[in-house]
């Protein structure tokens, strides 16, 4: 299976796996799955760290890179098509990071691992 991780799903996997649903935990822990970690999440984590809203044991540039490697996530760079894709998403959700992640998942035709129930209103499969 291929899937994109919402930022909180990746953080839960790294910091507090007990906060993942049983289904999400099983998918993340299965080495046969290809899990994508978006550059959007790198930006979100870095901004939250800078604003003091996210504590990490080391700066984001070291922490995020080491966790992507340790968990063998596939890094997904942000592309212009992902940015432009937010225009065609339905209204309702107001978080630009979520718009970009939803656009990432939609364009690549992969489900997104997220507990965000608002995602169910979008044209992507949601796993939680």
pLDDT band for 26, please (50, 70, 90 cuts).
very high
For residue 91, pLDDT beyond 90: no
pLDDT at 109: 96
CATH number at residue 73: 3.40.50.1010
Segments forming the whole domain that contains residue 37: 2-127
Q: Which two tokens stand for residue 92?
A: 């309702």
* Percent above pLDDT 70 for the chain: 100
Mean pLDDT estimate for the chain: 95
For residue 92, pLDDT beyond 80: no
Tell me what the mean pLDDT of segment 18-46 comes to.
97
Q: How many domains would you assign to the chain? A: 1
Cα distances (Å, whole numbers) of residue 25 to 9, 40, 110, 115: 9, 21, 17, 12
For residue 93, pLDDT beyond 90: no
pLDDT in tens, 36-73: 999 999 999 999 999 999 999 999 999 999 999 999 99
pLDDT band for 32, please (50, 70, 90 cuts).
very high
Question: What are φ and ψ of residue 87, in 5° steps?
Answer: -60, -35
């Amino acid at each position: 299976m291929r899937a994109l991780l919402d930022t909180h799903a990746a953080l839960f996997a790294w910091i507090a796996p007990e906060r993942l649903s049983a289904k999400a935990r099983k998918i993340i822990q299965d080495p046969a799955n290809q899990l994508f970690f978006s550059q959007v999440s790198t930006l979100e984590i870095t901004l939250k760290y800078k604003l003091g809203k996210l504590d990490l044991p080391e700066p984001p540039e070291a922490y995020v890179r080491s966790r992507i490697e340790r968990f063998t996530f596939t890094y997904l760079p942000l592309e212009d098509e992902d940015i432009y894709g937010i225009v065609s998403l339905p209204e309702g959700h107001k978080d630009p990071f979520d718009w970009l992640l939803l656009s990432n998942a939609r364009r690549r035709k992969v489900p997104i691992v997220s507990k965000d129930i608002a995602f169910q209103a979008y044209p992507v499969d949601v796993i939680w």
